[in-house]
């Protein structure tokens, strides 16, 4: 029995450590990149393993030390990655903002098969956001969301016939608004300039890239993130990037996108706030995001109640005022890597877009 327990603990330790460090490998392979998502779950499992090693003493001293060292190294790495989103939450400047400089952005992945439109409509009307980015929309959702045009008359949409349709509803005027396919894939993006009551402008970028999953690498997703980051970098007005990004904040591609676009993540100041999977109590991570440049600051960032989707919607309240935090500095190879990623995705897609 002790031998079996040693084998099991050894296999668990190696598996958890391997999964923890695998994403360090430079590759687009989906099964490698997906290992970046459940870092909180790795950390909990590794802490439990360490407690078991300390309490049960099922193995010889040398083996226990080796397994504990491996588990501690993996736990430390995971906590380094997710630590900024778990503790030491910092606040922005006092949440006072002139009404004409305030922008509220709601992101809701509706889930294509979901048929609970009324709770979402009620939530939108109760929260009264300036912008609603609805994702995974199709013709059915287009019809169900159309009543919102009474309060939010400015609309940009792209119905793809699959899981990557999107709608942007706005109470504020939109300029140069368009849905486009920036990296040649069938997952569109929305680009628009939002005019605030103060007369100031905000560059809005809405994304829902395809996630890494069996048969689909992370290349297209990363390319959309790089494209959006470059758009933000080149924008004359403060930029906001919002959507179900199918990437967690601590991923290498997200960190690069934030550096290139000089983007700030509200979760870095306000906490973990998972949004997916709303149907699971333990496999959850933050996929739905609203990032902004330092020309805006976060007043509040809220995960809203579910409405039948596998994502919780989020509501970000921003103020067009200088943020206290500063974005991460650009690294030497960031721009070159971004261009290479975009070109590779376009070549893979046959040049569309």
Rounded Cα–Cα distance for residues 244 and 117 (Å): 18
Stated as kind and residue range, the H or E segment containing 290 is strand 288-293
Domains annotated on the chain, with CATH: 2-85 (no CATH), 99-347 (3.60.10.10)
Tally: H helices and E strands in the chain: 10, 12
> How do residues 219-265 score in pLDDT, each as one tens digit?
999 999 999 999 999 999 999 999 999 999 999 999 999 999 999 99
| 102-138 pLDDT, tens digit each | 999 999 999 999 999 999 999 999 999 999 999 999 9
pLDDT in the model for residue 65: 86
Give the pLDDT of residue 348: 87
User: Computed over its alpha carbons, how large is the radius of gyration of the chain?
Assistant: 22
Please, which pLDDT band fits residue 60 given cuts at 50, 70 and 90? low
| pLDDT tens track for 298-337 | 999 999 999 999 999 999 999 999 888 899 999 999 999 9
DSSP assignment letter at 213:
B
297, containing H or E segment: strand 297-303
Beta bridge partners of 274: none
Structure-model confidence comparison of residues 140 and 90, the more confident one: 140
**What order do you get walking across the sheet with 263-264 strand by strand?**
174-180, 189-195, 201-207, 239-244, 288-293, 263-264
Q: Please give the average per-residue pLDDT across 17-45, as a whole number.
A: 96
C-alpha span between 134 and 136 (Å, rounded): 7
SS3 state at 23: coil
175 has which bridge partners? 193
0.85 surpassed by pTM: yes
Is 291 in contact with 235 (CB distance < 8 Å)?
no
- In which band, very low, low, confident or very high, does the pLDDT at 95 lie, cut at 50, 70 and 90? low
pLDDT reported for residue 87: 67
Q: Which residues contact 175 (CB under 8 A, 6 or more apart)?
A: 192, 193, 194, 195, 201
Which pLDDT belongs to residue 323?
A: 86
pLDDT, tens digit, 9 for 90 and up, residues 166-208: 999 999 999 999 999 999 889 999 999 999 999 999 999 999 9
Q: Would you call 280 exposed, middle or buried from its count of C-beta atoms within 10 A (0-12, 13-18, 19+)? A: exposed
At residue 353, does pLDDT exceed 90?
no
Measure the N-to-C terminal CA separation of the chain; round to a whole number of Å.
Answer: 61
CA 197 to chain centre: 28
Question: Can you tell me the distance from the alpha carbon of 46 to that of 40, in angstroms, rounded to the nearest whole number?
Answer: 10
Q: Which residue has the higher pLDDT, 57 or 284?
A: 284
């Amino acid at each position: 029995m002790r031998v079996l327990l040693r084998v099991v603990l050894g296999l668990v330790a190696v598996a958890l450590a391997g999964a923890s460090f695998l994403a360090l490998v430079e590759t687009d392979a989906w099964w490698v990149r997906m290992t970046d998502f459940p870092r909180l779950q790795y950390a909990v499992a590794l802490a439990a393993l360490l407690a078991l090693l300390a309490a049960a003493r099922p193995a010889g001293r040398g083996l226990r030390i080796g397994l504990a060292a491996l588990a501690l190294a993996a736990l430390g790495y995971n906590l380094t990655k997710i630590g900024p989103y778990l503790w030491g939450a910092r606040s922005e400047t006092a949440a006072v903002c002139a009404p004409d400089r305030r922008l509220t952005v709601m992101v809701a992945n509706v889930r294509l098969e979901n048929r609970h439109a009324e709770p979402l409509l009620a939530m939108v009307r109760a929260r009264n956001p300036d912008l609603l980015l609805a994702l995974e929309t199709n013709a059915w959702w287009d019809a169900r969301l159309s009543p919102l045009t009474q309060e939010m008359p400015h609309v940009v949409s792209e119905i793809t016939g699959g899981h990557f349709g999107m709608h942007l509803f706005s109470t504020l005027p939109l300029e140069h608004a368009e849905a486009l396919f920036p990296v040649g894939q069938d997952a569109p993006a929305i680009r628009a300039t939002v005019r605030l009551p103060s007369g100031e402008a905000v560059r809005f970028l809405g994304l829902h890239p395809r996630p890494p999953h069996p048969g689909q690498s992370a290349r297209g997703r990363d390319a959309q993130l790089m494209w959006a980051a470059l758009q933000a970098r080149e924008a004359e007005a403060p930029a906001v990037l919002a959507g179900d990004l199918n990437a967690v904040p601590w991923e290498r591609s997200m960190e690069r996108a934030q550096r290139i676009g000089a983007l700030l993540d509200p979760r870095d100041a306000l906490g973990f706030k998972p949004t997916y999977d709303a149907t699971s109590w333990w496999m959850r991570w933050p996929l739905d995001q609203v990032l902004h440049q330092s020309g805006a600051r976060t007043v509040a960032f809220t995960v809203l109640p579910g409405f039948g989707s596998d994502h919780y919607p989020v509501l970000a309240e921003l103020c067009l005022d200088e943020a206290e935090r500063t974005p991460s500095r650009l690294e030497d190879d960031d721009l070159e890597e971004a261009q290479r990623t975009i070109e590779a995705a376009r070549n893979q897609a046959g040049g569309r877009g």
